Structure 1
Amino acid sequence: MKLFNYYINTFKGLSNEAWMLSIVMLINRSGSMVLPFLGVYMTDHLKFSLENAGIVLSFYGIGSVIGSWLGGFLTDKFGEYYIQTWSLFLSAPIFLIIPLFPNVEMMAVLIFLQSTISDTFRPANSVAITKYARPENLTKAFSLNRMAINLGFSIGPALGGILSGISYNFLFVVNFTGAMIAGIIYVIFFRKRNKIFRERKKAERNQIVKIAGKSPYKDYPFLLYSVLCTVFAICFFQFFNTIPLFYKDVAKLSQSTIGFILGYSGFIIVLMEMPLVSIAERTLKISQTLFVGIILCGLAYLALVFGSSISLLVFSMTVLSVGEILALPFMSTVTAKRSEGKNKGAYMGLNGIAFSLSFIVTPYLGTYVVSHFGFDSLWIGSFAVLALSAVLIYIVVKKMIPMR
């Protein structure tokens, strides 16, 4: 009961719109189960080689980069409502087309197209959060949105593991359904609100242009920060690519067990994110929180060097989840604070690109290292890079945002 009351007090002050954005995200992500199983789908079902699977996954990253840039540009031009709406409705049918073309070339093209359209959603969604959240509740609003994402990912992979054991085609059908339902609910709730805010949004855009037309691509401290975010993301997002392969090839886990462990990560984040974010906001500066979170992510990967028992895998995933809680929402907060009075869509788009680049590099780099040097080399290297990036991000953010 005390924990429940604590959660209620933590969520106080968040608007109905912020809650609905999270509900839409929850529905969409609950249906998102293709990506965690895409590598396994290609190597196990389609019999692609590890390197060919890595190449296809890299095309997901290329599309994600383009989608993030395009989403930021279009959001500043047309508004976040239209971009989120079209992203959800246009990405849904592609999920049904993907399994019809089981070869490397067409798979790469379709995954590229799907990720380009889907990832225009992200900067638009981030701008919507900054639009509907009070400044003092900004990190909490991002955290609520991330809780929805991770609750969806706790449901999606667990269900995906079960469905893929029957037929991989079910994964694509459920992804289609989730995107369509999320789009319908989003339009119903936000259509009238968008009309109400349209004139205010237009005035805000005009004011932003007059006050500060500076491009984020000329904001050199932020560019350096974005590069470091990319380095972090290249290591962190092995969660979607090489970790499932490690579970399958080294730990010899079944698809359903892989799904449940990946889903367990989402459960931990849903349970612990808001309390940990609230504690971090009260006790640490943003730079300190990011340092701790990134170091924990490195330690989670380093733990995999010591074995592949279920208990160790669960321990590693727990540490990785806590590290994610302390890193990702505060990275979004840094971007939002840096973009105040500037082009929010462009800033959010650039930050999205920083993370999307990892989807190009991580699949190929991860599978290449595993193929030539083994998983242990990958985990040790990831820890070393994350430790270095933790130090550098601490220094850069401390100078960019010295306040708590």
Structure 2
Amino acid sequence: MKKIYKIYVDSYSGLSSASWMLAIVMLINRAGSMVFPFLGVYMTKKLLFTEEQTGYVLACYGVGSIIGSTLGGWITDKIGNYKVQYLSLLGSIPVFILLPHFTTVTSLALMILLQSTVSEMFRPANSVAITMYAKPQNITRAFSLNRMAVNLGFSIGPAMGGLLAAISYSLLFNINAAAAFIAAIVFINFFRGRKTNKEKYNEEGILEDRTELVGDNNKSPYKDKMFIIYSVFCTLYSIAFLQLFSTMPLYYEKVGGLNESQIGLVLGYSGLLIFLTEMLLVHLAEKYLTIRKTIYYGVLISALSFLLLAFDHSIFTIYLSISVLCVSEMLAMPFTSTVTAMRAGANNKGAYMGVNGLTFAVGFIVSPILSTKIASHLGYETLWVSTAILIVIASIGLNYSVKKMIG
């Protein structure tokens, strides 16, 4: 236990106060993100949409994510990550408040599109901020800390959301708006006027432990062929993984027989597990594996998570499946962000992080549409086996592309 405790202390001690505050803002924001995991259940149970209609509405979140990630990355390189982050947080507040008043397929789809556009502008700006406030040798740990905050928030949010959904879905939307407001206030108060590592370096001419991640890469990420190949395989993984927010909650309800509160507990458990163990896993991966191998094994193991659901839907299997998926997420996602940061140059990090966000945005579009169609017409067993095959392809492709980019 003492050794594990020391690992955690060593992992956290090198991170800057700004890295911690970025994580705290993310925690507040994501703790209030109770709506999305329940949107599928909300639409099928409350609004009486069909599974396919639900899939199309959820796909609009992905369309908005593409717009938000692309726009957010581009604007971040123009006006800086600070303005983009607080504008995104403040802009999402009125949209959350208005969402429960739109109850038709078309109107709700348009509102989901608007909400995701505004909120997903935050992602590339926040990723750039992580790279600018953390020391280069701590980039992966800074990303991991940020993700731990996301998952702690995700452990709190769905658990509370499941309870609130049983009372009122409108209350769920309003709590999201309140959390975004609190996150915006905390963010603005801490980061207004704060200098990044790069600005300190320019002023003082020296910065302790300053080492560059990469050479000077100033070309557009869209002209970086190997990075595009890498992003395609990241997208395949995201298509599989993002079923956590679409078909998996539907599967838990329809096949597993869980209600909203029980679904919230399952999702909350996943966030808590990641919060408690991610930094330890990242530390061990950094010590014993290369970035390439960590991503490869991290992605590949998620195939087991979906295969488990293909053969059993007991509560034990549901928790075992999501535990395996959590391990996959902890190993793969911090390091895929690190690869993106390593590939980018000093002046185009926003664009590169925007493309990194696009891999999830495309996943948000394809995953709910494709998975709900397969589940409706061929059954969940076929869906889970197909997902496992897709993951194997993604892991092989990522192993190849990362090897070509960073060795």
TM-score normalised over the length of structure 1: 0.95
Task: Determine the C-alpha separation between the residues in 2 that align with 1:40 and 1:148.
Answer: 25
1:216·1:347 contact (CA, 8 Å) conserved in 2? Answer: yes
Residue 44 in 1 paired to residue 45 in 2? yes
Task: Determine the C-alpha separation between the residues in 2 that align with 1:376 and 1:70.
Answer: 38
Q: 2:355 aligns with which of 334, 350, 370?
A: 350
Cα shift readout 1:66-100 (whole Å, capped 9, x = no counterpart): 00000000000000000001000001110110101
Task: Determine the C-alpha separation between the residues in 2 that align with 1:236 and 1:194.
Answer: 36
Of the structure 1 ranges 245-254 and 387-396, higher mean CA displacement relative to structure 2 is found in 387-396
Task: Determine the C-alpha separation between the residues in 1 that align with 2:298 and 2:5.
Answer: 25
**Counterpart in 2 of 1:362?**
367
Could you list the runs of 5+ residues in structure 1 that have no partner in the other structure? 205-210
Residue 227 in 1 paired to residue 263 in 2? no
1:64·1:353 contact (CA, 8 Å) conserved in 2? Answer: yes
1:163·1:171 contact (CA, 8 Å) conserved in 2? Answer: yes
Displacement of 1:198 after TM fit? Answer: 6.6
2:217·2:343 contact (CA, 8 Å) conserved in 1? Answer: no
SS at match of 1:192: coil
Task: Determine the C-alpha separation between the residues in 2 that align with 1:195 and 1:243.
Answer: 40
Of the structure 1 ranges 279-288 and 138-147, higher mean CA displacement relative to structure 2 is found in 279-288
**Counterpart in 2 of 1:240?**
245
Residue 282 in 1 paired to residue 287 in 2? yes
SS at match of 1:213: coil
Residue 140 in 1 paired to residue 145 in 2? no
Displacement of 1:194 after TM fit? Answer: 5.1
1:32·1:153 contact (CA, 8 Å) conserved in 2? Answer: yes
Identity %: 51
**Counterpart in 1 of 2:329?**
324
1:216·1:222 contact (CA, 8 Å) conserved in 2? Answer: yes
Q: 2:266 aligns with which of 251, 257, 261?
A: 261
SS at match of 2:193: helix
2:72·2:122 contact (CA, 8 Å) conserved in 1? Answer: yes
Displacement of 1:288 after TM fit? Answer: 0.6
Displacement of 1:213 after TM fit? Answer: 3.2
2:60·2:112 contact (CA, 8 Å) conserved in 1? Answer: yes
Could you list the runs of 5+ residues in structure 2 that have no partner in the other structure? 206-215
Displacement of 1:161 after TM fit? Answer: 0.4
Matches within 5 A, 1:58-97: 58-97=59-98
Displacement of 1:10 after TM fit? Answer: 1.4
Cα shift readout 1:224-261 (whole Å, capped 9, x = no counterpart): 00111111100111000000000000000111010000
Task: Determine the C-alpha separation between the residues in 2 that align with 1:196 and 1:22.
Answer: 17
Shift of the 380–82 alpha-carbon distance from structure 1 to 2, 3 Å rule, reads: same
2:57·2:105 contact (CA, 8 Å) conserved in 1? Answer: yes
2:132·2:197 contact (CA, 8 Å) conserved in 1? Answer: no
Cα shift readout 1:134-158 (whole Å, capped 9, x = no counterpart): 1110000000000000000000000
2:7·2:283 contact (CA, 8 Å) conserved in 1? Answer: no
> What amino acid maps onto 2:366 in structure 1?
V
1:214·1:342 contact (CA, 8 Å) conserved in 2? Answer: no
Residue correspondences, number = 397
Displacement of 1:5 after TM fit? Answer: 3.7
> What amino acid maps onto 2:157 in structure 1?
G
Residue 315 in 1 paired to residue 320 in 2? yes
Task: Determine the C-alpha separation between the residues in 2 that align with 1:306 and 1:368.
Answer: 20
Shift of the 223–195 alpha-carbon distance from structure 1 to 2, 3 Å rule, reads: closer
Matches within 5 A, 1:116-135: 116-135=117-136
1:18·1:132 contact (CA, 8 Å) conserved in 2? Answer: yes
Displacement of 1:341 after TM fit? Answer: 3.4
Shift of the 372–145 alpha-carbon distance from structure 1 to 2, 3 Å rule, reads: same
TM-score normalised over the length of structure 2: 0.94
Of the structure 1 ranges 137-146 and 165-174, higher mean CA displacement relative to structure 2 is found in 165-174
Task: Determine the C-alpha separation between the residues in 2 that align with 1:63 and 1:239.
Answer: 19
1:287·1:398 contact (CA, 8 Å) conserved in 2? Answer: yes
Matches within 5 A, 1:183-262: 183-193=184-194, 212-262=217-267
Task: Determine the C-alpha separation between the residues in 2 that align with 1:342 and 1:377.
Answer: 45
**Counterpart in 2 of 1:152?**
153
SS at match of 2:345: coil
**Counterpart in 1 of 2:338?**
333
**Counterpart in 2 of 1:24?**
25
- Once superposed, what is the RMSD of the aligned Cα atoms? 1.9
1:81·1:194 contact (CA, 8 Å) conserved in 2? Answer: no
2:159·2:265 contact (CA, 8 Å) conserved in 1? Answer: yes
Task: Determine the C-alpha separation between the residues in 2 that align with 1:297 and 1:212.
Answer: 33
